[in-house]
Amino acid sequence: MSSTVISNIATLVTNDPSLGDTSPLGLVRDAAVVIEGDRIVWTGESSKAPATDNRVDAEGRAVLPGFVDSHSHLVFAGDRTEEFNARMSGRPYSAGGIRTTVAATRGATDAQLEANLTRLLAEALRQGTTTFETKSGYGLTTEDEARALRLAARHTDEVTYLGAHIVAPEYADDPAGYVALVTGEMLDACAPYARWIDVFCEKGAFDGDQARAILTVGRAKGLHPRIHANQLSFGPGVQLAVELDAASADHCTHLTDADVDALANSRTVATLLPGAEFSTRAEWPDARRLLDAGATVALSTDCNPGSSFTSSVPFCIALAVRDMGMTPDEAVWSATAGGAAALRRGDIGRVAPGACADLLLLDAPSHVHLAYRPGVPLVRAVWRKGRRVQPRQR
């Protein structure tokens, strides 16, 4: 197995304080990284790097872990341009929201759904995302939910069953019947393709009792919980997430002091999704409040066709710094190590011996440029599992 050193790195983000300075980012200046196969085997000062088969000169640029996007909805068809345009123009609009995407997704072929999925994955990869989670939730029938997960599982291990996105249109007058479907026949068909189970716990979707029932049955089937929680209003989602040891409570926009305390004293990660607030002009989550309380925070895109149609983690980092009270260091940590924590993974989100060799090279000397130069395509190259997969096109 050949080895490669990336040397002459101006700033290396390791996310391991023991490898660099004492900050959470574990910064190393004038650094190098050695890759063998799909793993990192050495990090340190460039002048001390061991001999390797191959060498890449970073030419004074920054290297950091690949972004970990722990919340996305990428298996869908169609778009909701008209809805977005109306919302941004201040006009009332009633296109049916998620139901519009459900109709388009049900009508699409497997080939069409997978083509859209792979297009979005390539788009995200160009921007530095090396690990992503994605969900079902736009089929809402047993057959359509299972095929969404089957398609997603071809491209990632982080697959989430979200049959409980909204009540399917056919069950509008029988929500209990739909919960029975989600926890019965649909779950049986979907569980073989998924690692996680999710539920949209919100007014107009599923209440706390319904969410608890869905997640509890899913957990008994071997799927671990994560929850869309407290996005549109105060509610039981965060407390339920902590009660069930969910890996993450996602959105976390409307939190009581008790919610913040619960997150800070649990393993449940607060995953913040600023693309949704940007796209809907909603209230920003208060990341500063969560961080100061000691909660673990992740940043992700929530890429979906309705409320956050972005695949760009760098964009979300810039939003978090500008509007959510995060420092550039905190935002970068949350988009890498924080996302790994939200997926309960120790092998990604860091640059350390034994970790997966998922790296990105910035066209900048520091990770701070991700917030300092918003909207600029700074990702020059990407390595995933030790293989250079995304050279920057000139």
Q: Would the pLDDT of 68 be above 90? A: yes
Q: Would the pLDDT of 94 be above 80? A: no
- Read off the pLDDT of residues 169-208 as tens digits, 9 standing for 90 and up: 999 999 999 999 999 999 999 999 999 999 999 999 999 9
Compute the radius of gyration of the chain from its Cα atoms: 21
At residue 390, the pLDDT reads: 76
* Residue 237, C-beta contacts closer than 8 angstroms, at least 6 positions apart: 201, 202, 208, 211, 227, 228, 229, 230, 249
CB crowding 287-319: b at 16 or more within 10 Å, else e: bebbbebebbbbbbbbbbbbbbbbbbbbbbbbb
* Residue 265, C-beta contacts closer than 8 angstroms, at least 6 positions apart: 294
The pLDDT mean for the chain works out to: 96
At residue 162, the pLDDT reads: 98
Q: Would the pLDDT of 394 be above 50? A: no
Q: Would the pLDDT of 95 be above 90? A: no
At residue 97, the pLDDT reads: 83
Mean pLDDT throughout 81-96? 78
Confidence of residue 393 (pLDDT cuts 50, 70, 90): very low
- Read off the pLDDT of residues 142-156 as tens digits, 9 standing for 90 and up: 999 999 999 999 999
At residue 96, the pLDDT reads: 59
At residue 391, the pLDDT reads: 74
Mean pLDDT throughout 245-262? 98
At residue 1, the pLDDT reads: 85
* pTM attached to this predicted model: 0.96
- Read off the pLDDT of residues 350-363 as tens digits, 9 standing for 90 and up: 999 999 999 999 99
Confidence of residue 392 (pLDDT cuts 50, 70, 90): low
- Read off the pLDDT of residues 232-246 as tens digits, 9 standing for 90 and up: 999 999 999 999 999
Distance CA 35, CA 30 (A): 17
- Read off the pLDDT of residues 295-342 as tens digits, 9 standing for 90 and up: 999 999 999 999 999 999 999 999 999 999 999 999 999 999 999 999
Mean pLDDT throughout 120-131? 97
